[in-house]
Each structure stands twice: as C-alpha cells, then as structure tokens.
C-alpha cells in the first residue's frame, strides 16, 4: 500500500533514499514498513514462512518496494536501520518447544520451579473457572524436575550469608547436568538480588566444568540478568533466556545474515517489552518475548506526540486477540511483574490487557443453555470454514464477516486467498442458526453484535476502572481486523474521536520504525523512610539509590558497546520505582536529577513522585503521612535514530474521486440488507467524506462504515469515524 504519490512535474518518479525498515512477523502475515529520507512510507505484506522467516520477510519487502519501483538490493544498500518484532518467541514458550535447560537452585528447594506460584494455576481463566479447583491445570515446568539440582548455601533476605557456599556441591551439580546433555544451565539462588556473591561463584564453577567437558553450553545467572525480588518471577525470566531466547537469537542471526547478503550494513534491532528497541546481539534477549502488540502502542504514542493527542485508547484486533492499552497524559504505564504464556515474569512490560477474541475466534453453542461462546481458541492464519483449504470445521468470526457481506471473498489479502461464501453459510446454518431457530444472517449478525458488545464493555471498564471517562480519550483502532469492528466496539461510548490510520494493517511495523534504540536495566531496592525520618537517613537513601544507578549504568553502556557505540554517544536517563509505605503498587518515575547524593536531592525525588501520583490517580489521593519506599532503580540509555514522518497532504473537497468508487455490495445489519457503497482506500483523497453504509477496502484490511456513521480522511491519512 503506497501512502503517497508524489511525481515530478515531468511525471517521472522521484529519487528515493530508503532509510528505515520496520518488520512485524505475525503467525499469519509478515508486514514490512519502509520509510524514505523524506519520511514517506510504504507497506508490504506476505504470508509468513515459519520454517525460515527470512523468506517471508524478503517476499514482503519485495511486495512493499514494488510500489516505489525499487529493487530489493537497491533499497537494502541504502537502509540505515531495521527493527524486527514478532511472536515466534512467545509461541515457543506457549507451545513449550524451547531448548533443554538445566536449573541450579538452593538444596532443598529443587521443587519450587515446578510448583510455581499459586497464581500460575489459574492465569488466563475466567472468574467462574477460577472458583472450581478441578478446572485448574498445571502446565509442564520449563525445566523438568530431573534436570534441577540443588547446591548447599543460604543467604537471607538482608543479604547476610547464613550458610557459606559448599563449592563441591556446585561442581557435582554442574557435572551431572553436563552429563545429561543440557543446552543451557540457569542458576537462581534465594535473595541473590541482595547479595550476588554466591550465585556468581556458582556461575564461575559451572563455566569451569563446562570448559573441562569440551562442550559448548551457555550459563545464565539470575543476578547478571534480572536482579529483582520474587524468586519464581526471577527464575522463570532467567530460564526464558536459555529456553526461548537462544533459539530466537539463531533466527535473528539468519535474518540478519540473509539481509547482509543483499547488501545491508546494519545489525537488526528487536522491539523490547519496555517499548524501546535493542540489538539482536543483546545479552538479555528475553526482554523481546512479546514484541508485536507493543509496536502498535509505541506507534500510537508517537502519532499522538506528533498530532498533539495526550490521552489515547489503543485497540488492536488481530486474528486471535483484542489488545488494549491506555496512554494517559502522553505516558505509558509499565507493569513490572507481568504474566505471559501462563508464567509470572520479572520484565518491565508496557501494560496491556488482552481478550482472547479476534477475527479468527471460534464460535460454539453451549449444548444445555444454548448460549454462544466465543474463543478463546482461534483459527489463526487458517481464517475459518470459508477458506476451503483450511481444514477447519468449527465456524469462526471471519465466516460471519463473509456471510454478512463485510469482507470481499475475492480480495482477501489482495486476492491471495479465495474465500467461499457458500461453505460459510452452510456451516453457520448447521452449527449456530438451526439450533437457535434463526436465519443464517440473523445468527451471524447476532454473533458479531455479541463480540462487539464484549469488546465495548471491556474497553469501557478498562477506561472507567482507571477513573477516566471515554470522552477525554481518542480511540485508535488498528490491526488487520480492527477497522471491520471499529464502529461496533466504539458505538455509544462517547470517545472524543475515533481514528483508523490508513496503514492500520501494518501499524505495529510502523511502531517498530518509530521506536527509540534503547536499553533498560532494572534492580530491586528496599529503601523505607518514615515521614519524620531525619536528614541523615534521607542522605543515606540517596546514596543507596545512586550506587544502584552506577551498577546499572555499567550494564547499559556495555550493551551499547557491543553495538559499536561509545559512552559519549549514549543519553542516560535514571529512574526509580516509588510508593507510599505499605502500598502494594509502585509507580515508575523518571528522575528529575542526573545523580543524587544529599538529603535535598531525596526531597526532589519525593516531589517528582507526588506530582506523578496526583496526575495518575488524583491529587486528593496522595498520602505523604505514610512515608515513602523506593522499590527499584532503573537506568535507560538511548541513541537517536531517524523516524517516519507522519504524512501531511493537501486537503481536497468532500466528494471522493470517481476512480475510488468500486460499485456496491449487499451488507446485512440490524435485520436488513442494504446496498453499501464500495471504495478503494488508497485512491481516496484527504478531505473526502463518506456517509454509511459504505465499505472501504484495501488489500490488507477492510474498513466498515455502517448507516448512522460517517468518516472523513484528514491530511495525515487518518480516517475519523463519528456517529451521525
């Protein structure tokens, strides 16, 4: 999809200098997003090729560049930087298909990884399922019990050594695991975030034994990666480094190498969970476990910054899930101990909520109550029954779209996949309509309404649960299936504005191209001060925080050094997590000072926290009488990179040009068939207004504007949807 068409006066195409490539490798499709030196961009799409991702990527790149008439080799020689995001690592964990790792813990605690935390037993369950214990399932642990070994040592929660390390027990554990042919060894000892001496000594002993054996086995100590409290979270996250990140590193190396063969000179970066990008050579690659949906949120934040939107509700619908994130006052919320793939982790993750309902979700009837149940499982890239080659028998949401006339069966993915309406009609009739005594259309329309109302309630509760009203938010809708449902899940909520970008289908790849090159390291701290603490305690607290920053600073600079950047090229931003004493939740604060050492500095940190707290919750909710706790130190380092420019085109009149009109198609909603006007998205001009019922098609997505709604396209290629 080409977003701009600028030609020279003589009609020839302008010379382009392609600078940035953003990639979103999903389970179904691989999207690429190219930006040239003027900030103009183009989007490519191709089917994903899981056996060798590089093939799908190259195909998608060729598809995108064709719009500019540039060959792949020419474009890649010019490229300055490339960013990758995908779901491969997360899928590897969900399917439990990672590398065979060994684990070394304290003797006597060999079972704690297998037990997990109680919460892991019901993560991802609906409330009614949580109540019944018999429904809880325990996923297999990442490291089986037979590959776990204990060493004799104990450090208490203050970091004091109670039992010295018996080195022989560590040597024995290392030898036994090496004999078992493990592909990585993870070490996680109790309280090592307070005092890492024992853990690092065990790491050195294991490395000595690995060297003796002549094998090549990487060793991961939790204190080197995630020195944070909560041992299950910390252990899970460190295991992921060996279990899931190592194979991803191989994948990324393949991609990087195949692009270098085509002439690129840079190393690929990967979208990380905290919203910055890091190199694929990074020491901590587990930080990129979920990168696809994050890209969308970063894209929305960047778009908001450029256009002046402060409060944004981001909604992304793909084939399997509906992901929502809120940007308030231009800030993202960062969760510190999220869960992923039914595991609790210690990673800074952009706070997002997900509902397992998307365009591929399966539809089933409860045999007793005749209630309709959507998802959580999905047809994914196999779309639904309407695709004859899918091998799927259960109807999906996409089948309803085809039956109701929302989707063009001949232009799905630009015609790459042909859909069969009759198959979908027959399956819905048999599975949903007949048992409920409804016509096929009413059954399909009912399912769509049900999905829309679920998503609408979810969006509403998420905004009002934080104490806001939708009227103060702009809603961004994107993802391949976002624009089909935008009207349905925003109707009646009263958003300030609802926006669908023309490049909605490649929006996550756009977000990747807009993200900073940034590393982030965190460390747990326990600083507790009473409200009346004397100045010398304030000073001591400043010094403790500064010492943690120094330690993290070294780690950040080391990462950049691996990528060929010296310390003077890196902008460092220290931060901290603070709460009122006794609270359960802390807030992440960017430090107002580059370094701290005095009681006065401490007071500055407290003021910054109180300000933020008043903004996030309410000024009246502040509780300084409780005193203050600092729970963690943060250090971010970043290097500037070129970003995509948001288009700015001249506005034309409200009437769409003739070539944009494609005819009409029957479309069913609210118990009747209507003739919807069809338009081609790429040929619409800024200023054009379209009143529903209308369907705006592009190769990659379909934007539905039913009766009672109108949309207009602005100069930034953003569609605004409003109820009339």
pLDDT of residue 465: 82
The predicted model scores a pTM of 0.82
pLDDT of residue 139: 80
The pLDDT of 272-285, averaged and rounded, is: 85
113's tokens: 């990884």
CA distances from 44 to 1, 143, 679 (A): 7, 39, 21
Residue 2: is its pLDDT beyond 70? no
d(CA 432, CA 447): 9
Exposure of 353 by Cβ count < 10 A (0-12 exposed, 13-18 middle, 19+ buried)? middle
477's tokens: 């809708």
pLDDT of residue 126: 65
Neighbour tally for 618: CB within 10 Å:
10
The DSSP string of 151-197 is ES-EE-TTS-EEE---HHHHHHHHHHHHHTT-SEEEE--TTTTT--H
d(CA 146, CA 246): 22
**What digits encode the pLDDT tens for the residues 346-361?**
888 888 877 777 778 8
Q: Which residue has the higher pLDDT, 103 or 364?
A: 103
4's tokens: 């701009």
Neighbour tally for 153: CB within 10 Å:
24
Phi-psi region of 714 (alpha: psi -120 to 50; beta: other; left: phi over 0): beta
**What digits encode the pLDDT tens for the residues 324-336?**
899 988 888 888 8
Residue among 271, 259, 225 nearest 90 (CA): 271
pLDDT of residue 435: 92
Q: What are phi and psi of 436, to 5 degrees?
A: -95, -5
Instruction: Check if the beta carbon of residue 407 is closer than 8 Å to that of residue 702.
Output: yes
d(CA 724, CA 305): 28
pLDDT of residue 411: 76
Element (H, E) at 527: strand 517-529
d(CA 724, CA 54): 46
By residue count, the chain amounts to: 724
The pLDDT of 682-692, averaged and rounded, is: 93
Residue among 267, 189, 183, 271 nearest 224 (CA): 189
Residue 9: is its pLDDT beyond 70? no
The pLDDT of 682-709, averaged and rounded, is: 92
Highest mean pLDDT: which range of 44-48, 68-72, 162-166, 252-256? 162-166
Residue among 16, 13, 15, 84 nearest 48 (CA): 84
Beta bridge partners of 355: 322
The 3-state secondary structure of 454-519 reads HHHHHHHHHHHCCCCCHHHCEEEEECCCHHHHHHHHHCCCCCCEEEEECCHHHHHHHHHHHCCEEE
pLDDT of residue 8: 40
Mean pLDDT in the chain? 88
pLDDT of residue 4: 46
d(CA 228, CA 249): 24
Residue among 328, 302, 301, 318 nearest 354 (CA): 318
pLDDT of residue 17: 87
Cis peptide bond prior to 355, omega within 30° of 0: no
Beta bridge partners of 324: 315, 353
Cα dihedral 265→294→254→284 (10° resolution): 90
d(CA 87, CA 251): 12
pLDDT of residue 647: 81
Residue 1: is its pLDDT beyond 70? no
pLDDT of residue 10: 44
pLDDT of residue 258: 85
d(CA 123, CA 555): 33
The pLDDT of 633-645, averaged and rounded, is: 87
d(CA 345, CA 188): 14
The pLDDT of 70-82, averaged and rounded, is: 87
Which range has the worst mean pLDDT, 148-152, 316-320, 370-374, 570-574? Answer: 316-320
Cα dihedral 245→250→254→257 (10° resolution): 100
Residue 380: is its pLDDT beyond 80? no
- Characterize 430-447 residue by residue with b for buried, 16 or more Cβ atoms within 10 angstroms of its Cβ, and e for exposed: ebbbeeeebebbebbbbb
d(CA 26, CA 323): 14
Beta bridge partners of 334: 350
Q: At a CB cut-off of 8 Å and minimum separation 6, what does 688 contact?
A: 652, 653, 654, 655, 656, 657, 660, 712, 713
Residue 339: is its pLDDT beyond 90? no
**What digits encode the pLDDT tens for the residues 513-553?**
888 888 899 899 999 999 999 999 999 999 999 999 999 99
Q: Is 362 helix (H, G, I), strand (E, B) or coil?
A: strand
d(CA 589, CA 42): 36
Neighbour tally for 407: CB within 10 Å:
27
Residue among 149, 451, 100, 38 nearest 247 (CA): 100
DSSP H helices, 579-685, are 599-616
Q: Are strands 689-691 and 331-332 parallel, antiparallel or unpaired?
A: unpaired
CA distances from 657 to 8, 265, 424, 676 (A): 21, 43, 34, 17
Q: What are phi and psi of 18, to 5 degrees?
A: -80, 130
The pLDDT of 687-695, averaged and rounded, is: 94
Dmax over CA atoms of the chain, in Å, equals 82
The pLDDT of 267-288, averaged and rounded, is: 85
**What digits encode the pLDDT tens for the residues 575-626?**
999 999 999 888 999 999 999 999 999 999 999 999 999 888 888 889 999 9
Which range has the worst mean pLDDT, 90-104, 349-363, 588-602, 709-723? Answer: 349-363
The pLDDT of 275-300, averaged and rounded, is: 85
pLDDT of residue 51: 77
225 band by pLDDT with thresholds 50, 70 and 90: confident
Residue in the structure block whose two tokens are 């499982």: 377
d(CA 457, CA 440): 26
DSSP H helices, 214-324, are 222-225, 231-240, 246-261, 292-307
Beta bridge partners of 424: none
As a whole-number percent, the residues of the chain with pLDDT over 90 amount to: 50
Residue in the structure block whose two tokens are 């104490």: 467
The pLDDT of 1-29, averaged and rounded, is: 65
d(CA 701, CA 42): 15
364's tokens: 């089933």
Residue 144: is its pLDDT beyond 60? yes
pLDDT of residue 5: 43
pLDDT of residue 167: 97
**What digits encode the pLDDT tens for the residues 426-435?**
999 999 999 9
Q: Is 82 helix (H, G, I), strand (E, B) or coil?
A: strand
Q: Which residue has the higher pLDDT, 368 or 354?
A: 368
Residue in the structure block whose two tokens are 């060999």: 110
As a whole-number percent, the residues of the chain with pLDDT over 70 amount to: 96
Which range has the worst mean pLDDT, 48-52, 194-198, 276-280, 652-656? Answer: 48-52
Instruction: Check if the beta carbon of residue 691 is closer than 8 Å to that of residue 402.
Output: no
Beta bridge partners of 310: none
d(CA 278, CA 510): 16
């Amino acid at each position: 999809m080409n977003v701009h068409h600028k030609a020279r006066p003589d009609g020839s195409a302008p010379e382009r200098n392609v600078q940035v490539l953003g990639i979103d490798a999903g389970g179904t499709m691989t999207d690429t997003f190219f930006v040239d030196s003027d900030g103009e961009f183009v989007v490519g799409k191709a089917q994903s090729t899981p056996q060798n991702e590089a093939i799908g990527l190259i195909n998608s790149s060729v598809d995108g560049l064709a719009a500019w008439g540039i060959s792949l080799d020419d474009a890649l020689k010019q490229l300055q930087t490339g960013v990758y995001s995908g779901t491969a690592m997360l899928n590897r964990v969900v399917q439990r298909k990672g590398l065979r790792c060994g684990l070394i813990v304290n003797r006597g605690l060999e079972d704690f990884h297998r037990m997990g935390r109680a919460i892991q037993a019901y993560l991802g369950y609906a409330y009614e399922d949580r109540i019944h214990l018999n429904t809880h399932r325990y996923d297999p642990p990442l490291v089986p019990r037979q590959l776990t070994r204990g060493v004799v040592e104990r450090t208490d929660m203050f970091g004091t050594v109670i039992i010295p390390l018996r080195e022989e027990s560590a040597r024995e554990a290392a030898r036994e695991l090496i004999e078992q042919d493990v592909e990585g060894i993870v070490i996680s000892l109790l309280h090592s975030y307070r005092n890492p001496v024992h853990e690092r000594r065990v790491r050195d002993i294991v490395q000595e034994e690995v060297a003796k054996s002549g094998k090549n086995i990487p060793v991961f100590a939790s204190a080197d990666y995630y020195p944070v409290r909560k041992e299950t979270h910390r252990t899970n996250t460190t295991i992921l480094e060996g279990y899931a990140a190592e194979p991803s590193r191989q994948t990324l190396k393949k991609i990087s190498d195949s692009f270098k063969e085509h002439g690129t000179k840079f190393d690929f970066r990967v979208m990380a969970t905290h919203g910055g990008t890091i190199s694929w050579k990074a020491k901590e690659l587990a930080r990129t476990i979920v990168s696809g949906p994050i890209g969308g949120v970063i894209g929305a934040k960047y778009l908001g910054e450029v256009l002046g939107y402060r409060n944004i509700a981001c909604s992304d619908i793909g084939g399997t899930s509906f992901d929502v994130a809120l940007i308030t006052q231009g800030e993202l919320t960062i969760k510190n101990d999220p869960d992923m793939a039914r595991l609790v982790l210690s990673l800074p993750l952009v706070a997002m909520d997900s509902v397992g309902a998307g365009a591929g979700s399966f539809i089933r009837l409860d045999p007793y109550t005749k209630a309709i149940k959507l998802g959580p499982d999905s047809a994914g890239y196999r779309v639904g029954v309407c695709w004859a080659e899918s091998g799927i028998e259960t109807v999906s949401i996409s089948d309803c779209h085809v039956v109701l006339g929302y989707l063009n069966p001949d232009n799905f993915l630009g015609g790459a996949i042909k859909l069969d309406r009759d198959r979908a009609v027959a399956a819905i009739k048999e599975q949903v309509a007949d048992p409920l005594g409804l016509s096929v259309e009413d059954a399909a329309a009912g399912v769509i309404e049900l999905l829309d109302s679920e998503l609408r309630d979810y969006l509403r509760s998420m905004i009002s649960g934080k104490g806001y009203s939708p009227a103060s938010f702009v809603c961004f809708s994107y993802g391949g299936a976002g624009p089909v449902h935008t009207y349905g899940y925003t109707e009646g909520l009263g958003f300030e504005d609802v926006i669908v970008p023309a490049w909605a289908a490649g929006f996550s790849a756009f977000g990747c191209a807009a993200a900073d090159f940034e590393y982030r390291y965190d460390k747990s701290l326990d600083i507790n001060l009473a409200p009346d603490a004397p100045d010398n305690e304030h000073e001591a607290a400043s010094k403790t925080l500064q010492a943690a920053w120094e330690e993290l600073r070294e780690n950040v600079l080391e990462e950049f050094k691996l990528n060929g950047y010296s310390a003077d090229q890196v902008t460092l931003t220290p931060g901290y997590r603070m709460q009122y004493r006794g609270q359960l939740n802390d807030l992440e604060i960017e430090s107002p000072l580059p370094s701290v050492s005095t009681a006065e500095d401490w007071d500055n940190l407290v003021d910054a926290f109180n300000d933020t707290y008043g903004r996030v919750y309410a000024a009246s909710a502040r509780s300084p009488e409780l005193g203050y706790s600092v729970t963690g130190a943060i250090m971010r380092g970043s290097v500037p990179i070129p970003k995509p420019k948001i288009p700015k085109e001249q506005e034309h009149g409200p009437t769409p040009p003739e070539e944009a009109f494609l005819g009409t198609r029957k479309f069913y909603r609210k118990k009747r068939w209507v003739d919807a006007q069809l338009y081609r998205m790429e040929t619409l001009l800024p200023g054009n207004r379209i009143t529903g019922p209308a369907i705006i098609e592009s190769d990659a997505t379909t934007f539905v504007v039913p009766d009672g709604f109108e949309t207009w396209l602005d100069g930034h290629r953003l569609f605004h949807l409003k109820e009339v």
